[in-house]
Structure formats: C-alpha cells, structure tokens
Amino acid sequence: MTDHTEASPTPKTRTNRPGAFALLVNNRLAAGGLLVLGVLVITALAAPILPLADPNATAPADRLHLPFTPNHPFGTDMLGRDILSRLIWGTRVSLAVGVSATLIAAFFGSLIGLIAGFSSKRVDSVLMRGIDMVMAFPYILLALSIVAVLGPGLINALYAIAVVNIPFFARNIRGITLGLSRREFVDAARLSGKSRPHILLSEILPNVLPVIVITMSTTIGWMIIETAGLSFLGLGAQPPQADLGSMLGEGRKILFTYPHVSLVPGVMIFALVMSINLIGDGVRDILDPRLRSGALARPVARTAVARSRKPDTRPLMEATVLDVKNLRTEFRIGSTVLKAVGGVDLHLMPGECLGLVGESGSGKSVTAMSIMGLVPTPPGEIAGGSIFYRGEDLVAAKDSRIRVLRGGAVSHVFQDPLSTLHPLFTIADQLIETILAHQPMSRTEARDHALDLLKQVRISNPDERLNAYPHELSGGMRQRVCIAMALANDTEIIIADEPTTALDVTVQAQVLALMDNLRREKNAAILFITHDFGVVSAICDRVAVMYAGRIVETGRTEDILNSPAHPYTRKLIDCVPVLGEPERRLEAIEGLPPSVDDLPRGCAFAPRCPYADADCRHGDIALTATNGGRAVRCIHPLAQTTEETVVG
C-alpha cells in the first residue's frame, strides 16, 4: 500500500471532447441557424455604413412600389419609405430590444432564483409567492398592463417584456439551485470553511450558469416575438421609428392590396427567431449533460440482435431450462464499442439457483438482461451467441414469442422495487395486468389470483394492500409485490437482478428466505445476480463469477467459497470483512478493473493478479472444466484445498 496503486493509466482516460463551439458547428441545423443569424446580425450592425436610404424619409410620390423596383429592392410602404432600409434598421432595433430584454430578465430572474433557492425557507417562500402572483397573470396581459401604466413606447415595451419574463427565469433557476444546494458538495464546501455567499458564488453559480445560458438561448427568440407583438399592436415602437413589429402592424392595414409591406418584415421576424431557436436547440443539446451522453435515447422493446456469425451449434446440455452459449452483448456509443459481455456460457437446471457474482461493470446484469432482450437498444445489441430456453434459441425467436415468455415462463425481479413498480397504478392494477397478459380469465378471477399471490409472498392485509399504490408500501413490501408479480404466471425461470441490494439486512433476510421457499415450492429456477458472497451462500446452489464481461470461475457454491481456484475469486472473497472475524486484515485488490472498450490481451485480470506471468498476457484463455462440475479461466489456478479457509 505504500506505492501508488494506479498502475494502469487511470483515472479514466481523458476523452478528447471537441470544444463546445466545434460541436455546435457540427450540428447541421444549428450551424445553419448560426450562419443565418450571423448574416442578419452583421447586416444589422452595419446599417449605419451601408448605402441605405433614410428609413424614415417619406416620399409620397414613391408610395407602394412593389418589390424589385429600381432603387427599392423590397419596394416601398404607404409613405414611400424604402422597405429594405426600414427592414435593416428595424432588425437592428428588434434585435437590440430582444437581447436587452433577455439580459435584463436573465439577470434579475437568475438573481432571484439563486437567492430563493439558496436562502432559508422563509425567504424562499416569500420570494416564490411573489413570483407565483406575477405568474398568475397571463403573460401578455401583464405586459399589456405594464405598457398601459408606462404608456406606449419601445423602451417601455422592453421593460414590460423583461419584467414579464423574470418569473420564468426565477422559477427555473431556483429549481436548479435548490437541487444543487442539497448536494453533498455544498456541505463539503461549508466544512472547508467557505461562507454561504462564497458557496453560492463559487460552488453553485458555476453549475447554474449552463442552465442560465440554455434558458436564455431558448427565450431570446420568444422575447423578440413578444416585443414585435407589442409594436404590432401599436404599443411598442412609435412612428416614425421602425421596428419589425411596427412595420408589420402598419402593413396589416393594406394586407389585401399590398401584402409585401407586411410579408417582408414578417418573414424577417421568422428568419431571426428560427435561426435563434435552431442555435438554442444546438446549445441545449451541447450543454445538457443528459442529451450529451445520449441518455435520452429511447430504448426499444427488445434488444437489437446483430449476430455476425452463425451461432455455435455445440450440443446442448441435457435437461437444462436455460442454456446460454457464448453470449456477447455490446454497447455501441459513437465509435467506441463496449464489450460488456464477451462470450458467456451458463446453464440453469429446473429448480436450481445459480448465483452470478461480480463487481459493477463486470457484465453480470447485462448478461441477465440479455436473456429476455431487456438490454436497452440503443446502444446495446446482442453481438453473438445463443440463448436456449428448453432448446429454443431465444436470440432468433420472434418478438411475439419473446413477449409470451416474458412474464410467463421467464420472469424478472429487479433491484430497486420503488422504481420498478409503476408509481401511478395500484398494486392490483399491476398484478392483474400481468396475469391477464398471459392467462385468459375475467378481471374478477385475475383479482382473486392477485390476492392469492400477495398471500403467497406473505403480505399481511392483502385485501387492503391490493388497492395501495407503491409509494404507500415499505421497501420490503414492494419487493414482495415484485416477487408476487414474477410468480403470477407459472414461471420456470426467475431472473433476479440484485433483488435485495436496496433493502435493509433484516428485510433482506426475509426476502431471501421467501425466494428460497417459493422456488422450492414452485420448482422455479433462479438466476440470482449479486455482488455479495454472503447472499450467494444463503440461496445459491451454484455460482458463476464474472470479471470484465466473462465468467472466470464456476462451480458449486461451497466448493467455490471453500477453495476458489481463480485468483480473482480468491481476492474477491478475501477483500470483504466477514462477521465474526474482525481481526482479519482485508486484502484489497489493487488497481481497477479494465475498461471493457479496451480489454488487455490474455487474461483481463492479469494486470491486478499477483500470480500473472508472461503467458497470462497473450492469447485467449479458455474456461477449463475441472472436477466436480467446476470450471476456471486461469492458466495458474490456485491449488484446490479441502481446508476450510473462509467459513469458520
């Protein structure tokens, strides 16, 4: 422990992310918006030096020229003023007003939001009640009222639009600030001796700024429309000054006869706002971390299958209920391919409980979720291998067949029972729906069956609980409901993905006992995913240990625990404190697991393994069967002793 533990180039290699601007330009729509807006802004800025006619010079003789007349490319209006000149000057005004209104609203709104979100409850509720009051007015009505007070005029319209938008910013920023101020790093900064104002400025503000920028970029177009709207009604820019709204408003009166007078400024407003909105969307896509990581991609109903090779046709084991052969599941994110599961073989006998053990990122959950095609696509896909359910290859099966099996012969219990139950439906709804999806019966019969299921999982007052919503139950009870749901339709295989990890120990013990009893009663096989060898001991007949997407060792639970053959298994057992052995020194596994987009050649564990030699570092190492149904993927397996090393 004296030298630095990071041998491999960790921390996670810095990705060469392109800069924000480069990303924006790469987004074709945003780039288009940027181009249009750039041209418009430059033209508007250059208005004083462009050879334009005086925008306000009237020429009654030149009234209402159509576009493309000499000297007047866009024609003239009813007072003979040059529309092109008015358009460019008007754009200048509209842009200036829209941008200033946005800046004012963003500044004051964000300030209120930051203070409300970070102050005491009392300050917060006073500020937010005020904001609510303002928001109780329909937006434009409030702007109109303000203009009514201040009197018509461009600057007054600007103030009105800015004021009306302050609540919008305040609400948004307050929400973000409130969320951030509850984060642990704020407490940490307090304990680092920072004062509260300092925390607001140096810890919270940097995290809020992107949100302010996103909000600004999405509201600025709106503000331009709104100020133009006030001018359109004659309450903003006053004649003879031109802004886009007032030009449109003046032109409206002669819409039927000379539509170009109103169409030209209208199209300009649209072009301006559209280009700003395109950029705004682009900015949001870049700054919003969820969008950037592709987390908002919608998973489809079933994992995509992209088997390049013909699945292997080795004879299946006799009498298995589930037989997974050389399963490979990958995640494609951009150009990187994460080989989450890199060739897994496992099988399950009827009524048997197999523990799939590994650390996070080992591929154990992905393996389990691949079976019924529940790995999210995009980005996941099954890249190879076969999954046989009673001899039938599920990878090749039709969607309709998978749907019949899901919740029928193969059911699931997931980790967090609160998030896996639908929050808006009662327990009865959710159970009955599961039953009716697979069994032809009436709703009343299904309800009786649901009641019976709740009794089986030993929920007290099942009648009452049927009508409860998930949030009204405790964690342990919710997980019992999930188990009941898994048992609803004569299941043969239960895929249980860390079903007790989110539970307290005493509740965990209850749930484990329940699952163990039920599987014996119903003769259902369980694929039990966990990271805890203690839990494995409590319920699993056999165990398979995964590391970096492959199974490194498998065998009967007692055998593996008593004499692990793979150094990783040995280390994984030894690094956990065991109840009753407080004096034992914990053997930490140095380093970190390899990243599955860049696996080392040879044994994936070699860089962390004390026994590794040159042979371990090249070539594929096979999972080799030894005696007693055991198999290990190691060239230097540990001696198998009969001595009880772990269990005291």
Partner 1 sequence: MAAYIFRRLLAAIPVLFGLTVIVFFIMKLIPGDPATAILGSYATPENVARINAELGLDKPMLQQYVIWLGNILHGDFGRSYSLNKPVLDEVLGRFSATLILAGTALVLCSILGLVVGIVSAVRQFGWADRILTFIVLIGISTPSFFLGLLLILFFAVKTRLFPASGMYAIYGGGGILDLIHHLTLPAITLAIVATGVIARLTRTSMLEVLRQDYIRTARAKGLSERKVVMKHAFKAALVSVVPVIGIQAGFVLGGAVYIETVFQWPGIGSMLVTAISTRDLLLVQGGVLVVAASYVIFNLIADAVQTMLDPRLRR
Partner 2 sequence: MDNAGSVLMSVTNVDRFFGGGKTLTRRERPKLHALSDVTLDIRRGETLGIVGESGCGKSTLARLLVGLDRPTGGTIRFQTEDVAATAARAPRALAQKIQFVFQDPVSSLNPRKTIRAILNAPLVHLLGLDRAARRKRLTELMDSVNLRPEFLDRYPHEFSGGQAQRIGIARALAANPELIVLDEPVSALDVSVQAQVLNILDELKRGFSLTYVFISHDLSVIESVSDRVVVLYFGRIAEIGSAGSIFRNPRHQYTKLLLNSAPAPGRRSTFAEDAETELPDPFHPPKGCAFAARCPRADDMCRASRPPLQPAPDSSGHLAACYHPG
Q: Pick out residues in 126-185 that bind partner 2 (CB under 8 A).
A: 183-185
> For partner 1, which is the closer residue by CB, 188 or 297?
297
Q: Would you count residue 201 as binding partner 2 (CB under 8 A)?
A: no
CA 243 to chain centre: 43
Q: Strands of 489-540 (E only): list them.
A: 493-497, 525-530
Structure tokens at 146: 């303000």
> For partner 2, which is the closer residue by CB, 189 or 235?
189
Q: Would you count residue 148 as binding partner 1 (CB under 8 A)?
A: yes
Residue 37 CB, shortest distance to partner 1, in Å, is 12
Residue 125 CB, shortest distance to partner 2, in Å, is 13
CB distance 428 to 466 below 8 Å: yes
Structure tokens at 128: 């937010």
CB distance 303 to 377 below 8 Å: yes
CA 8 to chain centre: 29
**Residue 483, CA distances (Å) to 77, 336, 443, 511 in order:** 75, 37, 21, 9
CB distance 493 to 408 below 8 Å: no
Determine the Cα angle at 535 with ends 534 and 536, to 5°: 90
Residues 353-372 that bind partner 1 (CB under 8 A): 372
Determine the Cα angle at 389 with ends 401 and 548, to 5°: 110
Q: Is 154 exposed, middle or buried (0-12, 13-18, 19+ CB in 10 A)?
A: buried
DSSP string, 62-128: GTTPPTTBTTBTT-B-TT--BHHHHHHHHHHHHHHHHHHHHHHHHHHHHHHHHHHHHS-HHHHHHHH
> For partner 2, which is the closer residue by CB, 184 or 318?
184
Q: Would you count residue 647 as binding partner 2 (CB under 8 A)?
A: yes
Q: Would you count residue 237 as binding partner 1 (CB under 8 A)?
A: no
Q: Would you count residue 125 as binding partner 2 (CB under 8 A)?
A: no
* Per-residue binding letters, 373-392, with partner 1 (x by CB under 8 A): -x-x----------------
Residues 66-105 that bind partner 1 (CB under 8 A): none
> For partner 2, which is the closer residue by CB, 376 or 475?
475
> For partner 2, which is the closer residue by CB, 182 or 443?
182
Residue 258 CB, shortest distance to partner 2, in Å, is 55
* Rounded Cα gap, residues 147 and 124, in angstroms: 29
Considering CB distances under 5 to 8 angstroms, the limit depending on partner class, which of partner 1, partner 2, none binds residue 137? partner 1
Residue 190 CB, shortest distance to partner 1, in Å, is 31
Q: Strands of 226-379 (E only): list them.
A: 304-305, 322-333, 336-348, 353-357
> For partner 1, which is the closer residue by CB, 129 or 585?
129
Residues 152-181 that bind partner 1 (CB under 8 A): 152
Exactly one of 104, 248, 368, 573 binds partner 1 (CB under 8 A); that residue is 248
CB distance 337 to 597 below 8 Å: yes
Residues 29-48 that bind partner 1 (CB under 8 A): 29
**Which window, 83-91, 176-184, 294-302, 390-398, contacts partner 1 (CB under 8 A)?**
294-302
Exactly one of 522, 531, 556, 636 binds partner 2 (CB under 8 A); that residue is 531
Structure tokens at 105: 């609203």
Tell me how many residues contact partner 1 (CB under 8 A): 77
> For partner 1, which is the closer residue by CB, 234 or 343?
234
Considering CB distances under 5 to 8 angstroms, the limit depending on partner class, which of partner 1, partner 2, none binds residue 459? partner 2
Q: Would you count residue 408 as binding partner 1 (CB under 8 A)?
A: yes
Structure tokens at 151: 């009197």
Q: Would you count residue 587 as binding partner 2 (CB under 8 A)?
A: yes
* Per-residue binding letters, 11-40, with partner 2 (x by CB under 8 A): xx-x--------------------------
Smallest CA-to-CA distance from 120 within 185, 48, 178 is with 178
CB distance 457 to 499 below 8 Å: no
Exactly one of 422, 520, 584, 601 binds partner 1 (CB under 8 A); that residue is 422
Smallest CA-to-CA distance from 413 within 486, 513, 510 is with 486
**Which window, 115-123, 128-136, 197-205, 621-629, contacts partner 1 (CB under 8 A)?**
128-136
Q: Would you count residue 145 as binding partner 1 (CB under 8 A)?
A: yes
Tell me how many residues contact partner 2 (CB under 8 A): 75
Structure tokens at 236: 């903003």
Q: Would you count residue 6 as binding partner 2 (CB under 8 A)?
A: yes
Residue 91 CB, shortest distance to partner 1, in Å, is 14
Residue 513 CB, shortest distance to partner 1, in Å, is 23
Considering CB distances under 5 to 8 angstroms, the limit depending on partner class, which of partner 1, partner 2, none binds residue 185? partner 2
Smallest CA-to-CA distance from 466 within 486, 479, 481 is with 481
CA atoms within 13 A on the CB side of 225: 15
**Which window, 63-71, 341-349, 442-450, 534-542, contacts partner 2 (CB under 8 A)?**
534-542
* Tally of helices (H runs) and strands (E runs) in the chain: 23, 13
CB distance 530 to 546 below 8 Å: no
Q: Would you count residue 188 as binding partner 2 (CB under 8 A)?
A: yes
DSSP state of 359: -
Residues 423-482 that bind partner 2 (CB under 8 A): 458-460, 474-477, 480
Exactly one of 504, 598, 613, 615 binds partner 2 (CB under 8 A); that residue is 504
Determine the Cα angle at 608 with ends 594 and 355, to 5°: 70
CA distance between the termini of the chain:
28
Residues 268-287 that bind partner 2 (CB under 8 A): none
Residue 535 CB, shortest distance to partner 2, in Å, is 5
Exactly one of 1, 42, 61, 295 binds partner 2 (CB under 8 A); that residue is 1
Q: Is 600 exposed, middle or buried (0-12, 13-18, 19+ CB in 10 A)?
A: middle
Q: Would you count residue 273 as binding partner 1 (CB under 8 A)?
A: yes
Residues 443-482 that bind partner 1 (CB under 8 A): 469, 471, 482
Q: Would you count residue 187 as binding partner 2 (CB under 8 A)?
A: yes
* Rounded Cα gap, residues 570 and 561, in angstroms: 8
> For partner 1, which is the closer residue by CB, 111 or 436?
436
Q: SS3 of 589, please?
A: coil
Residue 382 CB, shortest distance to partner 2, in Å, is 26
